[in-house]
Structure 1
């Protein structure tokens, strides 16, 4: 997750910007930079690598000024070089950005045709040039941002500093969080309240679609329709904790809403969105020399791996064996030296997964792991590490780590398909383009929270629930049932929809809610037939589908949650969000300890 900081201050901002960026290092980054106004003129310092490199640059080339912006970057578009580091600038402004501008290529083509020249490979520079063009057409800085924001497609957080404007910062958010800090004669902006903790303990959080105009004296906030709004200021505990809940009730809620951003950064580690290709340097496995994949994991990670199995077999035609780790080591599976053993774990310390890894290592297999903690035991004992960039996950029930695991698995499946010759370069580019759309779709789905919250007032009253799905929606159904069990303590089971008549249908009556995960794909009609069987027995259906699926169902439901139409490959990541929110809001209404449910631990380090 990139880090953003902005200060409209009364004292030198360079050291304060760096101090704030240090507090965001936990989010991960590969370059850093600051932009400051010195006597109204824009100056920049950027450096590849860690903040210590930027600090050395600032010692050698000091900056003076009381207003500025700073950034730590995870590369999404373009290599992690100084040339691609933020802030990006023109003669008239500098901008820092979290997220992905999906239509940057179209914007760039349009701007270049209009005579604007680009210096980097990034999507962010399109924002800088777009706003600059509006300024060149006579707009004021605030007008230029207002005019430009609707032209940006994707998920983003922005902070913009203008040449000659010594008392102005403009910020905007769509999918990536931003917080405003209120000081004494100063105003601050950060992607996390943690960054603002040294300067103020009074924070306002921008809502989705908001944009804001900051001066030393005040902040003016507008919603996505351009209407001036007020966002409540609150005391922040950022100074006391490394990771705060921000304006969310629970860490789980915060982590659900972080997914557009962390998925984008995870994908960007493995995919070059500019060229539509896999970053082969970050996938150091020759899938052409592998004849089988053996995957092992526990809990939510097992369900992520189960979805990955579909992708590897469909895209790369690579056979996959998948096991729950606690069973794998005792099954005495015959293993070939041409098999890659892949282990999935958020913590990297899961005891059963680690034991399975050591068994495979003893059999001479090459070991790869997908982990969120690169310093973990599983990571250290692996030959190849595929990191997820979810950042710290505090809630015991995994949310953002799950979808980041899916992001890695999807990217690896594309890499395997390209290496094995089952997809060509054109198909690789098509799939990469689809994956780049995930943050925008995720952001749209998060807006459905009021509808999902309402249906949970019904779900909280039940004792049992059934989840159904086909294809990649089957493991997602099991994950949904697990989430509901974990935090609400309602008994729930996830089944392949085709298994309904092989037992679970006996449970159906008018007290049994059935959550059906059914995007309108090639399996949709078969799932509808299962829904008809449920409806005929009085079951209360909560359908999660898209507009076409909702239109063609023809079955009365307790509620239908309509998601955007989307490519098949990204559906599991996007459909995971309403599944998570169903469990979350149900647990909230039931008054359980959402972040630390009874009897559970974040990392299972014993067998």
Structure 2
């Protein structure tokens, strides 16, 4: 979401920091800024609302000279997008700080600092850190010592970088729940929230661990301290994948690269949003707690893949948060008379934020009124959907080049589960279910990697589809929307006609289509409906249908004639829709490759549908 860049060198850092910010633009932001310590010891700062280009214009008019500095791209959580709320934040004219994440206890800290005479100039939680650092640095006359003390006062998820004109040869930083990496150069050192920001200056990185503190100094000095504040050595690694986020790299197609990106982008989507036992409601903004407490109904509007994500979310929102939820295709929504229940949150989903039907539905709603607020879940900051919604939750998928959405879909699912848990937290408080799911979300990136390790096995299965013209996908509960998504992926890029049904509906018509030439794909996690799903699958086999089952490793199913089985890792039932999406994406990809279609740019389709 937000981006941090820092540099301690023997050369001018302004352009290094600026390029770092450009490379972080994919993460989502609404303002940008940088602070640099000049050779004469003065701290200079420039900030701008909007794109990094707006900051660059300011720097062209009034540049920042110096060889040490920090920079930031911000996505508003506390305080509206404005220059006064943009980072870096200062305390006096000597200290500057940049911050990703949320300081949960900033309000009592702010009240304490105001009693001590500190004046606040922004609406952010970050300014608390700036004043705390200024106070402690004056008391201790040591930047690292002050920083060590201040981080013990903070609660929440954050990454921080601080510089001070009285200590012009060092930058201090830390990470707790939000990533931070050290770039190791030749006689110089760098700091960033993502290695992509620094690939123009180094390919060697130290990935800081949770709770680590770091001090960067001159001549490439890097000192790391663990969560117990003891000196520790962290090994550096070479970044292997190049510096172009929109390059296919080692992959044959963008779609395959983006499928394999999912572990990383889900990590980005989760960063700074999880506490020990709950999701931070303020991921939606500073006043989210109060707003979410008044949500009694939810209306989700979306198209295509995003619509399937909304269908999954309905199960989550009703079961976990106890909130009645409706999901509707955007192109249909505004052409009927809608009755809006009191306390309804209007949620739109879009990868691009420019989907014409979804935008039209939002604008129709804004004219008609009656909704509590509008929330956009989107992958593109600055898009029309984001600008025109009351609240936003960015999915952090990064650039998605393939027309058939993959990582944008799974990050939408993650974001919708975060929304669900934030609502549960606000309306029902902490409980063991929420703590269990927060733990499961922390482990999700690793689980995704295990699921992607099945790629070769799925490639082997794909040969059975190469000469087929039709396919059925089935699932129950949250797996029905995942079956819909699997069918959509297959038809989008392989041009095989594919349909999906709730497995229990097979006997109400679709069984008439089943024969040896109609492969049936089933998704079978180990949930409360697995017994009924097994019965549905027997109906298919009894009619000569060939089954391809993606099943939990603990389910008692056996391969046999006409039954092809691929085992997935055991997973929490609420996380299962995200994991079970992966094999369906890979199946569609490999079938399309076998059929020789244009995987990344299938016929008749566009990435962003901006016409009705």
TM-score by length of 1: 0.68
> In structure 1, what is the equivalent of residue 274 of structure 2?
272
8 Å Cα contact 1:434-1:569 kept in structure 2: no
Give 1:548 deviation, angstroms. Answer: 0.4
8 Å Cα contact 2:494-2:597 kept in structure 1: yes
- Separation of aligned partners in 2, 1:122 and 1:273: 7
Pairing 1:393-408 to 2, within 5 Å after superposition: 393-408=400-415
2:254 is matched with which residue: 251, 256, 260?
251
1:553 is matched with which residue: 554, 557, 564?
557
Pairing 1:21-170 to 2, within 5 Å after superposition: 21-28=20-27, 62-63=66-67, 75=100, 161=184
- Separation of aligned partners in 1, 2:247 and 2:127: 31
8 Å Cα contact 2:265-2:397 kept in structure 1: yes
Q: 1:464 to 1:25 in 2, by over 3 A?
A: same
Secondary structure of the residue that 2:271 maps to in structure 1? Answer: helix
Deviates most, 507-516 or 379-388:
379-388
2:325 corresponds to 1:326: no
> In structure 2, what is the equivalent of residue 143 of structure 1?
none
Secondary structure of the residue that 2:334 maps to in structure 1? Answer: helix
8 Å Cα contact 1:3-1:71 kept in structure 2: yes
Secondary structure of the residue that 2:416 maps to in structure 1? Answer: helix
Secondary structure of the residue that 1:308 maps to in structure 2? Answer: helix
> In structure 2, what is the equivalent of residue 205 of structure 1?
none
- Separation of aligned partners in 2, 1:16 and 1:561: 51
Unaligned runs of 5+ in 2: 36-43, 76-99, 105-124, 131-147, 160-176, 207-233
Unaligned runs of 5+ in 1: 35-44, 86-111, 126-153, 170-175, 192-210, 222-230
Give 1:593 deviation, angstroms. Answer: 1.0
1:297 is matched with which residue: 293, 302, 308?
302
> In structure 2, what is the equivalent of residue 317 of structure 1?
322
Secondary structure of the residue that 1:512 maps to in structure 2? Answer: coil
1:585 is matched with which residue: 590, 603, 612?
590
Q: 1:310 to 1:167 in 2, by over 3 A?
A: same
Give 1:553 deviation, angstroms. Answer: 1.3
8 Å Cα contact 1:5-1:20 kept in structure 2: no
Query: Cα deviations across residues 492-549 of structure 1 (Å, max 9, x unaligned)?
Result: 0111011111111111112221111111111111111111122222222211122102
Q: 1:20 to 1:585 in 2, by over 3 A?
A: farther
1:573 is matched with which residue: 574, 578, 587?
578
TM-score by length of 2: 0.67
- Separation of aligned partners in 2, 1:47 and 1:437: 39
Q: How many residues align?
A: 489
Pairing 1:391-470 to 2, within 5 Å after superposition: 391-421=398-428, 424-470=430-476
Deviates most, 471-480 or 334-343:
334-343
- Separation of aligned partners in 2, 1:351 and 1:72: 28
- Separation of aligned partners in 1, 2:551 and 2:510: 22
- Separation of aligned partners in 1, 2:282 and 2:202: 43
8 Å Cα contact 1:276-1:432 kept in structure 2: yes
Give 1:480 deviation, angstroms. Answer: 0.5
Runs of 4+ in 1 over 6 A off after TM superposition: 1-7, 29-34, 45-53, 68-74, 76-80, 82-85, 117-125, 154-158, 165-169, 176-181, 211-214
> In structure 2, what is the equivalent of residue 365 of structure 1?
370
Q: 1:364 to 1:447 in 2, by over 3 A?
A: same
Give 1:315 deviation, angstroms. Answer: 0.8
- Separation of aligned partners in 2, 1:447 and 1:536: 32
Q: 1:520 to 1:178 in 2, by over 3 A?
A: farther
